[in-house]
């Protein structure tokens, strides 16, 4: 029906991935490594559950190879083989099949067999046993988001602490406050820095709290949340295995159909990140204004010089770091709108 395609020598992906690569060339970059590694952990949890249920009782070597392949993907060793484009149709099926094929072929190599000889290890019958794209992909996405958000929280903590240090350093510097850019009553530069620190403190708290939403997963719900093709024991045990694999307190959604059908949690989390983007843009814009000059602007603060600012005016230095921060913040605000539209359409 779909014809044949050549697979490069040494590739661990298979025909489904090759078709996806031939069809989707939109973003021209593969899915993020964080998602691939998270998928490895989800697959490891599913494999451990299937093994505990005796699925591969007659072939312990196969079970060992599958679990080892999953661990390798989770640790980033197989990321280069998951090559499907970030922009693709099919609600993540292309990514999921790429993962399944890589894990199956890696398991075959571990067993001393040729990639693509799926008699002993199948991407569908073994790697995807009791699973669907519609429960594994959202679960992997939540896990990847949690790991990225934890890293982001640490960065925001560092930013908050940096402004707190400036609050103390500049506590004695008296300056004019402004409302609507007009002169107002006196304040201190330290007080202004402390206000920025407080804003980032709220962002830090929001990021920390949003993990609670992401820890609720629909793994075990398979295609539409009904758990079709998955035995009851798998549905009730797989999230326990995911907790053990990741060390994160995941819980199974009370209503798997609802959790499969709706994606509003990603809108909520994105809104929290948009709030951080707003804070970053506001602070960057303020610093840029306060550093304006040096002769005809406010010139109240001096930003570190990073790059020459002009090809025609010698000695000119621009506030390139605040400007770059503002650009990144504005870009994320656009991403937030995209996420909202995508979730509203069920995509």
DSSP letters for 144-157: HHHHHHHHHHHHHH
Retrieve residue 271's tokens. 């809104």
20 is catalytic: no
Q: Which residues are CB-contacts of 158 (< 8 A; sequence separation ≥ 6)?
A: none
**Length of the chain, please?**
347
Q: 89-116 burial, b for 16+ CB within 10 Å, e for fewer?
A: eeebbbbbbbbbbbbbbbbbebbebebe
Q: Which residues are CB-contacts of 47 (< 8 A; sequence separation ≥ 6)?
A: 63, 66, 67, 70, 127
Alpha carbons 128 and 87: distance in angstroms, whole number: 23
Query: Catalytic pick from 75, 117, 226, 310?
Result: 310
Residue whose tokens read 């995508």: 342
User: Would you name the residues annotated as active-site residues?
Assistant: 310
């Amino acid at each position: 029906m779909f014809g044949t395609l050549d697979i490069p020598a040494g590739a661990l992906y298979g025909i489904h991935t090759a078709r996806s690569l031939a069809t989707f060339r939109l973003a021209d970059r593969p899915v993020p490594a964080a998602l691939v590694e998270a998928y490895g952990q989800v697959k490891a949890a599913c494999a451990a559950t299937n093994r505990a249920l005796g699925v591969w009782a007659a072939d312990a070597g196969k079970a060992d190879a599958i679990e080892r392949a999953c661990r390798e993907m989770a640790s980033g060793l197989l990321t280069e083989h998951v090559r499907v484009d970030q922009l693709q149709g099919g609600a993540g099926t292309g990514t999921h099949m790429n993962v399944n094929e890589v894990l199956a072929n890696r398991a075959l190599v571990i067993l001393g067999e040729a990639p693509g000889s799926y008699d002993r290890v199948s991407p569908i019958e073994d790697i995807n046993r009791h699973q669907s794209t519609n429960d594994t992909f959202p679960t992997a996405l939540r896990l990847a988001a949690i790991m990225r958000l934890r890293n982001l929280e640490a960065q925001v903590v560092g930013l908050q602490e940096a402004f707190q240090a400036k609050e103390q350093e500049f506590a004695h510097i008296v300056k004019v406050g402004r409302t609507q850019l007009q002169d107002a009553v006196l304040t201190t530069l330290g007080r202004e820095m402390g206000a920025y620190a407080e804003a980032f403190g709220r962002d830090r708290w929001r990021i920390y709290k949003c993990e609670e939403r992401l820890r609720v997963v629909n793994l075990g719900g398979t295609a539409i949340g009904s758990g079709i093709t998955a035995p009851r024991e798998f549905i009730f045990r797989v999230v326990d295995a995911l907790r053990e694999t990741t060390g994160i307190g995941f819980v199974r959604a009370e209503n798997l159909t609802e959790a499969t059908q709706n994606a509003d949690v990603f809108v909520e989390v994105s809104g929290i990140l948009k709030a951080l983007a707003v804070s970053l843009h506001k602070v960057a814009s303020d610093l840029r204004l306060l550093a304006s000059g040096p002769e005809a602007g406010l010139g109240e603060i001096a930003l570190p010089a990073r790059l020459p600012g002009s090809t025609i005016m010698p000695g000119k230095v621009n506030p390139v770091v605040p400007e770059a921060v503002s650009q990144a913040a504005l870009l994320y605000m656009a991403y937030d709108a995209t996420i909202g539209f995508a979730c509203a359409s069920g995509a």
